[in-house]
């Protein structure tokens, strides 16, 4: 295959070494040992930004296949697939001809001297024997013994295919008692031609070869690539148990993971879990690393596809055996825990708004579909979020923040991952603009708008009514106390004593103070504060939040920078503290900032 032409978006970056594919993915991504999965992901994302599937589909497919191959090897610790630079050489053996053993000598040992033919076995080179004394009888003139002709080695199979029918070659290979790995490969290829009505014959011959030659990595690699491709309907239900009966160790999971992914997309979690349980009953191995890596990869998608208990059981299994998780999989395990927290509130989250249902569908596609389909769903959601500020605000009201605490971490990770491939990198302006003055002006404007609104009138009315109520209650209490004391004094004393007047003055001072404490610690938390909070939320919803979202839509300011500047606004600006407090609680702000990356 010729190298693809230089891509128009390459810029100053060098052209990838396409000649290294498919056998040297490490060199293609320009990675060095030891290979880090994060470095691999970054190298892959850089190439995908240049070779997008809609503009360079052939290059995209090659890059994606190389990434999947290498990432899978890293996840499973290279326990199944050989190194990409290893070249497999199969030697064809003639039918039923014994293969001479090859003497393997240590490197550096003396090479034996070549020996010529044995003089006894080769009469052509044997010296004439010394004449023995013979009797007078005439010598016998029997003909000399001719050497036995060496059997002719048959032509290679690739040459015989040009002269012999495939059916005859297929039958001859089937009759061989001792088949080499190449023989099983040839039988698998010929079966596609001879036994077209048996579409799984290719896999059956590869499995037979793996059973006969368990140490041959090439056959296992061929089987792995076979299960990765499209298979006939219903093939997985037959093929996976057959593989489990042959590969009965922990390597089963790495060998068949691509087929399990396809099965999870096409069937229900119930059918998936039932077939997996049947296969796992055939496995007998003390090693569980492959099983745990497999669970981590597939349990997340299964969580978003139904209410079956298998995903939670798989996560519990991983957590119970966490000490055996490879270090390079710990981040994946952490993300699986975050996904489980979202799954616990997912039903309530989806019911809140159509935009939230669309976001949930994008998350499901991201974790279950192929990468291209998942990325497409996530990008569509980001465009919808950035294009409709009113819909975004309606989908994420402040009253349901406990749902967003479980949702947002997984959405932030997915958005970052997809953005690395589809959103242009954020370019810092030089010199960086100073946004502090504009943020202060924004807060002043929002404060004035709040003061001019009907909501602010209600806000001030609450304070006035609270003060008026406290004054009326205080006057009433003082008046009642005065009347009661006056009546008691008339009954007891003809003329009030001086100490009683002093006591009355003290009561007039202490009474309002005690009443103020009651109002502050009892009435305000129960009556005034909830009502003022309700009014403040309404003011944020109607006035402050739309202003903040419009400002971020125009400025494309980073969320962290905006919050930092907002917290530094002068405290004497009306409503500045309230605006900052509600923006800190608002998940619509980071959702919008993240989504705008995809519009650039």
Can you tell me the distance from the alpha carbon of 202 to that of 188, in angstroms, rounded to the nearest whole number? 4
pLDDT tens for 110-139 read 333 333 333 333 333 334 344 444 444 444
Contact present, 555 and 428 (Cβ < 8 Å): no
- Model confidence at 434, in pLDDT bands (50, 70, 90)? confident
Distances in whole angstroms, Cα of residue 426 to Cα of each of 146, 278, 412: 86, 49, 16
pLDDT mean over 90-102: 50
Contact present, 59 and 97 (Cβ < 8 Å): no
Residue 96, Ramachandran bin (φ over 0: left; ψ between -120 and 50: alpha; else beta): left
Can you tell me the distance from the alpha carbon of 471 to that of 458, in angstroms, rounded to the nearest whole number? 20
Highest mean pLDDT among 74-78, 539-543, 582-586: 582-586
- Model confidence at 91, in pLDDT bands (50, 70, 90)? low
pLDDT mean over 62-84: 76
Cis geometry, peptide bond prior to residue 579 (ω within 30 degrees of 0): no
> Would you call 517 exposed, middle or buried from its count of C-beta atoms within 10 A (0-12, 13-18, 19+)?
exposed
- Model confidence at 496, in pLDDT bands (50, 70, 90)? low
- Model confidence at 396, in pLDDT bands (50, 70, 90)? very high
- Model confidence at 414, in pLDDT bands (50, 70, 90)? very high
Q: Is 179's pLDDT higher than 50?
A: yes
Can you tell me the distance from the alpha carbon of 474 to that of 467, in angstroms, rounded to the nearest whole number? 10
> Would you call 442 exposed, middle or buried from its count of C-beta atoms within 10 A (0-12, 13-18, 19+)?
buried
pLDDT of residue 147: 58
Instruction: Say which residue, 185 or 477, is predicted with more confidence.
Output: 185
- Model confidence at 224, in pLDDT bands (50, 70, 90)? very high
Q: Is the alpha carbon torsion for 465, 471, 476, 481 positive or negative?
A: positive
pLDDT tens for 480-494 read 766 676 676 666 766
Contact present, 484 and 506 (Cβ < 8 Å): no
pLDDT of residue 463: 56
pLDDT tens for 332-371 read 999 999 999 999 999 999 998 999 999 999 999 999 999 9
Q: How far is residue 267 CA from its own chain's centroid?
A: 20
Tell me the two tokens of residue 140: 């016998």
pLDDT tens for 21-50 read 988 888 899 888 888 888 999 999 989 988
Contact present, 248 and 285 (Cβ < 8 Å): yes
> Would you call 447 exposed, middle or buried from its count of C-beta atoms within 10 A (0-12, 13-18, 19+)?
buried
Q: What is the share, in percent, of the chain residues with pLDDT greater than 70?
A: 71
Percent helix, percent strand, percent coil in the chain, to nearest 5: 65, 0, 35
Tell me the two tokens of residue 30: 């320009």
**DSSP secondary structure string, 469-480?**
HHHHHHHHHHHH
3-state DSSP assignment of residue 232 = coil
The whole-chain average pLDDT of the chain stands at 80
Instruction: Say which residue, 6 or 542, is predicted with more confidence.
Output: 542
Which ranges in 493-575 belong to alpha helices (H)? 498-518, 529-539, 545-555, 559-567
Q: Is 391's pLDDT higher than 70?
A: yes
Q: Please tell me the pTM assigned to this model.
A: 0.75
Tell me the two tokens of residue 397: 């009201």
pLDDT tens for 230-268 read 898 889 999 999 999 999 999 999 999 999 999 999 999
Q: Which residues touch 198 (CB under 8 Å, ≥6 apart)?
A: 191, 204
Return the number of other C-beta atoms located less than 10 Å from residue 412's C-beta.
Answer: 14
Q: Is 165's pLDDT higher than 60?
A: yes
Instruction: Say which residue, 90 or 249, is predicted with more confidence.
Output: 249
- Model confidence at 504, in pLDDT bands (50, 70, 90)? low
pLDDT of residue 84: 43
Contact present, 555 and 549 (Cβ < 8 Å): no
Residue 213 DSSP code: -
């Amino acid at each position: 295959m010729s190298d693809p032409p230089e891509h128009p978006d390459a810029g100053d970056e060098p052209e990838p070494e396409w000649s290294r594919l498919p056998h040297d993915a490490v060199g293609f991504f320009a990675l060095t040992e030891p290979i880090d999965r994060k470095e691999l992901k970054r190298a892959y994302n850089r190439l995908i930004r240049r070779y997008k599937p809609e503009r360079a589909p052939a290059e995209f497919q090659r890059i994606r296949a190389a990434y999947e191959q290498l990432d899978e090897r890293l996840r499973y610790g290279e326990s199944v697939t050989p190194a990409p630079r290893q070249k497999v050489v199969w030697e064809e053996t003639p039918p039923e001809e014994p293969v001479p053993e090859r003497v393997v000598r240590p490197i550096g040992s003396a090479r034996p001297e070549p020996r010529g033919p044995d003089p006894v076995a080769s009469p052509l080179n044997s010296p004439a024997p010394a004449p023995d004394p013979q009797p007078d009888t005439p010598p016998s003139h029997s003909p000399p013994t001719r050497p036995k002709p060496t059997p002719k080695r048959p032509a290679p199979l690739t040459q015989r295919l040009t002269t012999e029918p495939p059916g005859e070659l297929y039958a001859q290979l089937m009759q061989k008692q001792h088949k080499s790995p190449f023989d099983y490969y040839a039988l698998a290829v010929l079966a596609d031609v001879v036994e077209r009505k048996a579409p799984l014959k290719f896999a059956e011959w590869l499995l037979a070869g793996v059973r006969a030659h368990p140490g041959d990595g090439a056959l296992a690699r061929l089987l792995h690539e076979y299960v990765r491709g499209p298979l006939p309907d219903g093939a997985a239900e037959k093929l996976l148990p057959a593989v489990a009966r042959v590969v009965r160790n922990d390597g089963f999971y790495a060998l068949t993971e691509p087929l399990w992914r396809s099965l999870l997309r096409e069937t229900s979690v119930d059918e998936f879990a039932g077939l997996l349980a049947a296969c796992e009953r055939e496995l007998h191995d003390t090693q569980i690393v492959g099983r745990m890596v497999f669970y981590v990869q597939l349990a997340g998608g299964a969580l978003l596809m139904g209410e079956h208990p298998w995903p939670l059981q798989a996560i519990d299994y991983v957590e119970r055996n966490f000490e055996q998780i490879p270090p390079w999989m710990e981040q994946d395990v952490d993300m699986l825990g975050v996904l489980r927290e979202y799954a616990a509130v997912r039903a309530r989250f989806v019911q809140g708004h159509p935009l939230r249902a669309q976001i949930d569908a994008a998350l499901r596609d991201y974790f279950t579909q192929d990468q291209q389909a998942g990325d497409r769903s996530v990008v569509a959601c980001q465009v919808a979020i950035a294009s409709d500020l009113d819909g975004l605000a309606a989908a994420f009201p402040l009253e349901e923040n406990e749902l967003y605490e479980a949702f947002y971490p997984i959405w932030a990770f997915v958005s970052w991952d997809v953005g690395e491939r589809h959103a242009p990198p954020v370019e810092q302006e030089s010199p960086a603009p100073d946004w502090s003055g504009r943020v202060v002006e924004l807060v002043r404007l929002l404060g004035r708008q709040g003061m001019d609104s009907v909501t602010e009138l209600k806000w001030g009315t609450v304070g006035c009514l609270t003060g008026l109520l406290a004054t009326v209650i205080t006057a009433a209490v003082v008046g009642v106390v005065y009347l009661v004391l006056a009546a008691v004094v008339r009954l007891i004393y003809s003329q009030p004593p001086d100490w009683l007047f002093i006591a009355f003055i003290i009561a007039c001072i202490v009474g309002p103070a005690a009443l103020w404490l009651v109002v502050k610690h009892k009435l305000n938390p129960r009556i005034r504060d909830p009502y003022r909070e309700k009014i403040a939320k309404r003011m944020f919803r109607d006035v402050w939040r739309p202003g903040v979202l419009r400002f971020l839509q125009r400025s494309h300011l980073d969320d962290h920078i905006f919050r930092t500047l907002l917290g530094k606004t002068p405290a004497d600006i009306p409503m500045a503290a309230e605006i900052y407090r509600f923006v800190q609680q608002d998940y619509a702000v980071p959702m919008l900032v993240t989504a705008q990356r995809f519009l650039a």
